[in-house]
Structure formats: C-alpha cells, structure tokens
Structure 1
Amino acid sequence: MTVSLFDQFVSPIFFGIPLIALAIVLPLILFPQPTSRWLNNRLLTFQGWFINQFVKYLLLPVNVPGHKWALLFVALVIYLMTINLLGLLPYTYTPTAQLSLNLGLAVPLWLGTVIVGMRNQPNLSLAHLLPEGTPTPLIPVLIVIETISLFIRPLALGVRLTANITAGHLLIHLIALAAYGLIPLMPVVAGLTFTLLLMLTLLEVAVALIQAYVFVLLLSLYLQENV
C-alpha cells in the first residue's frame, strides 16, 4: 500500500480523541513555575533571562501603550517554539503543521490589534488605507488594494508558519528514506546522505525557533501601527 508523504501531518486519533489536543496542551506542563525564593535554580534563571531579552528586543519598536501585550507575546513565542521543537522528535506530532491551528492563532490576535487601533485612534488607523499624496483618480483603487492587504495579513501569518514547518518535515522525511534505501546499495553515499540529514535537522531546529519569533514579531509590528 502506498502511503502519502502528507499522512504524517494528519492528526492521529487514539480512542476517538484527536491527539492534536494533547500536543497543544503538553507545552503547559514542560516549563517550571517561578517560586517565591530569592534564588532560583539554573533552569528558572535561564528562563527568566530569556524572557527578559526577548521582551527587550521585541518591544523595542513598539510604543509604550503596546507594552501591555508583552505577556501575551512572550507566552505565544514560548508556546510556538516548544511545539515546533517537540514536532522534530521521533514519533511525535507537530500541531503547527496544521493551517487551521495557525489561523486560529493569527486571526484573533491580528483582529485584536485592529480593534485596538480602531478604538484608540480610528483616524490614524483608517489613514493607513490611503497613503498621503495619492492622486485623486487612484484613491478608490488604492483603498481597495490596502483593504485587501489588511485582511490578508492573518492568512499570510498562518500560511508562512505552516509552509515552513511542512516543508522542513517533508525534506527530513525524503532524505531519511533515501539514506535508508541506499544503505544496502551504496553505503558511502548513504553515509553522506545521513550527514546531510543531520545538518538539515539542525537547520530545522533553527527554523522552528526563527519562525516562532517571526510570527510574534510581525504581530508586534501590526500592533505598532495601531497604538
């Protein structure tokens, strides 16, 4: 029976329960909770340092009113990084390979930034739909184009994350199959292919971290336009 390469992205079901729900909840129990002690262990110290560095660089281009979103952005980037990295382990499932999950994260957050802008500064938010100095005949066309580009932002966020995660997993799968098939035929080539597989796996670890950061960074830029 021929198995499609995309079957690895289908959410497995165990006793009628989709395991994507377990994969989504799992990151919540992996991170230690802060304690009331003056001195914490190394893991908590590193976790606090990472959060401080991330918040500092992420909120650098954002105005002061947008700093209220810091907790949400930090939680989101840690969550995305965790499930992306867990999906690289054997016999695991990557929830961010599903476009529905990524859109479920992107659409409400993008809509929240738009609502904040329309509530706090409606004139400035609407002014983004029409660049200053636009010739009069082009005004209707530009308004339509800018409106479409505004509503396509959450779709671009979700598709970008899904495409990068899916492409990486497919490449790992294809190269692993090639290395396994070449072992009895050409062991030297199989060894080179396995080395390429290790390098690609390291690249995918970087992609998993970078794509989570890019997802939240773009959200912060959308927020900056509305605060």
Structure 2
Amino acid sequence: MNLSLFDQFMSPTLMCIPLIVVALIIPWLFFPNPLPRWQNNRLLSLQNWFIGRFTQQLLLPLSMPGHKWAAFFASLMIFILSLNMGGLLPYTFTPTTQLSLNMGLAVPLWLATVLIGMRNQPTPTLAHLLPEGTPTPLIPVLIIIETISLFIRPLALGVRLTANLTAGHLLIHLIATAVFVLAQTLPVVAILTAALLFLLTLLEVAVAAIQAYVFVLLLSLYLQENI
C-alpha cells in the first residue's frame, strides 16, 4: 500500500490515545539534573555553558525590564531545540512539525508581549500603528496595514517553524527513498546520493537549532518593543 509523504507528520496514536504528549515529555528526560556536589560533571558543565551563552546573547537587545524573562526564554529555547533534534532520530515523531502546536506556543506568547505593552506604555504601543510624519490622507490606510502586520506576527512565528522543519524532513525522506531505489540499479549514483543525504542531515541539524533560536529571538524582539 502506497502511503502519502505527509503521513509521517500525522500524530501517532496508541489505543486511540495521541502520543504527541509522550513526544513532548520524553526529550526532557535526557537532560541531566543538577547534582548536590559542588563540582559538576562534564555534561552538566557543557549544558550550563550553553544556557549561559544563549542567555547572554539573548539579553543583548533587551533592556533591563526584559531581563526577568531570561529564564523563561532559555527554557523555551531548550524545549523547542530538544523537540527539533529528537525528531531527527529514526522512528520518532517531531511535534514541532504540527502547526497547531507551534501556533499554540506563538499566539499566547505574542499576546503576552502586546498586553505588557498596553499595560506599561499604552501610548507608545499604540503609536507603533502610525509612523511619525505620515501624511493625513494615508493615516487610515497605514493604521490598517500596521494592525494587520501586528496580527500576522504570531502566524509568521508558527508557520516559519513548521515550514522549515517539514521541508527538511520531506527532503530527507525523498532522498533516502532514492538511495534505496538506486542501490540495486545504479550503485555509484546511490553512494553519491547517500553522501548528499548525509550532508542534508547535517544541514537539518543546523536548521533545527537555528529555527529554535530564531523563534525565541523574535519573541524577545517583540517584547523589547513593548517594555
């Protein structure tokens, strides 16, 4: 029976129970927990160094009021990164290829930044809808355009993460299928295709890390505009 290429992005079920919850929880089990000893092991030291460097880079564009979000953004980055990386393993499911999950992350977080701006500085927040020096006849049009662009932000966050991961998984699946098909007829071409598959897998690892960073970075920039 021929299956669709997009069947791999369907949420698996066991006894009519969706396993996406398990896919969301399992990556957290692979992170080491802090030890009661003063001196950590190498894995914990590497993990702490990564979190520290990421938090340091993330706080560069943020002012002091936004630094209180550092722990949350670091946790969100590790969460999305672990889901993206775990989905590259064989016989696994990538929850971040689901638009519903990504929108469930993007919309509340974007809305939180907007509500913070409306509460702390309502006048500057509303002033973003109308650029300074706009001619009077263009004021209604620009307000509509800026409002649409504001509401498109969470959609862009969710769709960007979904599209990049879905495209990479599809390419890996197509090229892997080509390797198995060409292995019997054209072995040399199959070896070259396998090398291309290896390079594409490395690229997909980089994409998984970059997309997690971009997701959190854009949220931090949205927050900076409202604090």
Which residue of 2 is the match for residue 85 of structure 1? 85
Which residue of 2 is the match for residue 126 of structure 1? 126
Deviation at 1:107, TM superposition (A): 0.4
Q: Please give the residue correspondences for 1:56-205 in structure 2 after superposition, counting only pairs within 5 Å.
A: 56-205=56-205
Q: Aligned-residue CA RMSD in angstroms? A: 0.7
TM-score, structure 1 length as denominator? Answer: 0.98
Give the secondary-structure state (helix, strand or coil) at the position aligned to 1:118: helix
What are the superposed Cα offsets for residues 96-120 of structure 1, whole Å, 9 maximum, x if unpaired? Answer: 0000000000001000100111000
The amino acid that maps onto 1:154 is: P
What are the superposed Cα offsets for residues 130-169 of structure 1, whole Å, 9 maximum, x if unpaired? Answer: 0000000000000000000000100000000000000000
Which residue of 1 is the match for residue 8 of structure 2? 8
Give the secondary-structure state (helix, strand or coil) at the position aligned to 2:185: coil
The amino acid that maps onto 1:42 is: R
| Residue range with higher mean Cα deviation, 24-33 or 145-154 | 24-33
State the alpha-carbon separation in 2 of the partners of residues 38 and 124 from structure 1: 47
Deviation at 1:27, TM superposition (A): 2.1
Which residue of 1 is the match for residue 39 of structure 2? 39
Task: Report runs of 4+ in structure 1 exceeding 2 Å deviation.
Answer: none
Deviation at 1:28, TM superposition (A): 2.2
State the alpha-carbon separation in 2 of the partners of residues 207 and 183 from structure 1: 28
| Residue range with higher mean Cα deviation, 156-165 or 45-54 | 45-54
State the alpha-carbon separation in 1 of the partners of residues 139 and 27 from structure 2: 48
Which runs of 5 or more structure 2 residues have no equivalent in the other structure? none
Give the secondary-structure state (helix, strand or coil) at the position aligned to 1:131: coil
State the alpha-carbon separation in 2 of the partners of residues 43 and 28 from structure 1: 15
The amino acid that maps onto 2:199 is: M
State the alpha-carbon separation in 1 of the partners of residues 98 and 144 from structure 2: 30
Deviation at 1:17, TM superposition (A): 1.5
The amino acid that maps onto 1:175 is: I
Deviation at 1:32, TM superposition (A): 1.5
State the alpha-carbon separation in 1 of the partners of residues 63 and 170 from structure 2: 40
Give the secondary-structure state (helix, strand or coil) at the position aligned to 1:6: helix
Which runs of 5 or more structure 1 residues have no equivalent in the other structure? none
Which residue of 1 is the match for residue 224 of structure 2? 224
State the alpha-carbon separation in 2 of the partners of residues 103 and 81 from structure 1: 16
Deviation at 1:30, TM superposition (A): 1.6
Give the secondary-structure state (helix, strand or coil) at the position aligned to 1:183: helix
Give the secondary-structure state (helix, strand or coil) at the position aligned to 2:48: helix
Give the secondary-structure state (helix, strand or coil) at the position aligned to 2:143: helix
State the alpha-carbon separation in 1 of the partners of residues 213 and 142 from structure 2: 31
State the alpha-carbon separation in 2 of the partners of residues 112 and 59 from structure 1: 18
| Residue range with higher mean Cα deviation, 14-23 or 180-189 | 14-23
State the alpha-carbon separation in 2 of the partners of residues 118 and 28 from structure 1: 35
Deviation at 1:2, TM superposition (A): 2.1
Question: How many aligned positions are there?
Answer: 227
Deviation at 1:33, TM superposition (A): 1.8
Deviation at 1:75, TM superposition (A): 0.3
Percent identical among aligned pairs is 70
The amino acid that maps onto 1:58 is: L
The amino acid that maps onto 2:60 is: L
